[in-house]
Amino acid sequence: MDIKQIAALDEQVYFHTFGARQNVAFASGSGCTLTDTEGKQYTDFFAGIAVNSLGYCYPAFQAAMHAQLDRILHTSSVFYIENQTLLAQQLVENSFADRVFFASTGAEANEGAVKLVRKFFYARQENRYEVITLNNSFHGRTLAMVAATGQEKYQKPYHPLPEGFVNVTPGDLSALEAAIGEHTAAVLLEVLQGEGGVVPFSKAYIQGVEALCRKHGILFMVDEVQTGIGRTGKLFAYEHYGVTPDVVTLAKALGNGIPISAILAREPFASAFTPGDHGTTFGGNPFSCAAGLAVMDALLNDGILSGVAAKSDYLRGGLEDLARKHPVVKQVRGLGLLLGMELDTVPVAQIVAALQKKGFVVGSAARNTLRFAPPLIISSAEMDALFAALDETLTEVSSHGSADL
């Protein structure tokens, strides 16, 4: 099918949840290059919203997937699953955690984390059930996670929302402490708000949140759905901050495109779940865990994780050079290979579309921000090509008031 046929059929049969999509359908990929159904190639700086960290058709990953496909895809967690056990071991050995539970999506992992903290205090006969989250956060699309997400645009159509979530001003420790009450069970936050505009928090703030959690006997939970598994230059973004979470949630890059998510937790919190308390049909099946094992192997043993810092410096440096040159750029910020370029007056969608026309896939986020989250295998030559295209696009905006679309 060509793009016109795909778009026409999509219009007839698919929910309109994504609005007017970008008029492209990708048919194949290799490395950091995507090819659409019309044969046009693009360099990917979005990685499927920070999912495809190994790019496309990474040889070792492909081999692992083909091998597992020929053995077994799914059984059930009623039975022991070797890949599930091995991936849990990998995550425990490389993190703060003592135990792991696998699910399929980031929202499912965050829901599970909230259930875990409620069960922990229920077992202690303490009436603590509220979870404090931050304004401008994003934790998923289920009803409970919409309530957790501190953005009114996601919440408004779905009232009444599930109770038990309190949204507070980000970066303000006094506001956070004021929100802690007798029913507070945990704080759940992203150390870098991806959907909220690629906004990282200071080390002092994140350490302050951890200190408040310890002071008040509540859990410190970190949502690493977008920032985890190497994206920021460390396996987990919390490692940049010198803190030890009680619970961390993962998804996206853990499967490199295969749906898998995880809840990581310390004892005794992990043991709050007893048989029958929680479950999942697809989470942790042999195929998805084979993907996770292949990703972890590539990051830790192929030198990919150790190379992210230098790539991040190169990408940030190029973007900051452009920011100094073009007044329309307000700020460059982020961590590792999750960087944002906030624009002043020009709509971010216009720049995204112009770059796409030039053969580059980039994303957007809140606060009129371009979001760059390329595969972790991105090369300096590919970044140089982006800088040239972005420079040209920003020049067009400055000269003519709009990019040449």
In 274-399 the beta strands, taken as DSSP E runs, fall at: 329-335, 338-343, 360-361, 363-365, 369-372
For the chain, the C-alpha Rg in angstroms (whole number) is 21
Please give the average per-residue pLDDT across 309-329, as a whole number. Answer: 98
Q: Name the residue with tokens 């309190």.
A: 166
Dihedral sign computed on CA atoms, order 82, 299, 114, 152: negative
- The per-residue pLDDT of the chain, averaged, comes to 96
Name the DSSP letter for residue 97.
-
Give alpha helix (H) positions in 166-285: 173-179, 203-216
Cβ(255)–Cβ(91) below 8 Å = no
- For the cut 90, the answer to whether the pLDDT of residue 21 exceeds it is no
**3-class secondary structure for 47-66?**
HHHHCCCCCECCHHHHHHHH
Instruction: Note the pLDDT of residue 398.
Output: 80
Cβ(46)–Cβ(280) below 8 Å = no
Instruction: Note the pLDDT of residue 401.
Output: 66
| pLDDT confidence bin for 403, thresholds 50/70/90 | low
- For the cut 80, the answer to whether the pLDDT of residue 81 exceeds it is yes
Domain locations in the chain as residue ranges: 3-58+303-400, 72-301
Instruction: Note the pLDDT of residue 291.
Output: 98
Looking at CATH, the fold of the domain delimited by 3-58+303-400 is given as Aspartate Aminotransferase, domain 1 (3.90.1150)
**Does the global pTM surpass 0.85?**
yes
Please give the average per-residue pLDDT across 6-20, as a whole number. Answer: 92
- For the cut 70, the answer to whether the pLDDT of residue 186 exceeds it is yes
- For the cut 60, the answer to whether the pLDDT of residue 29 exceeds it is yes
Per-residue pLDDT of 124-142, as tens digits, reads 999 999 999 999 999 999 9
Looking at CATH, the fold of the domain delimited by 72-301 is given as Aspartate Aminotransferase; domain 2 (3.40.640)
Per-residue pLDDT of 334-377, as tens digits, reads 999 999 999 998 999 999 999 999 999 999 999 999 999 999 99
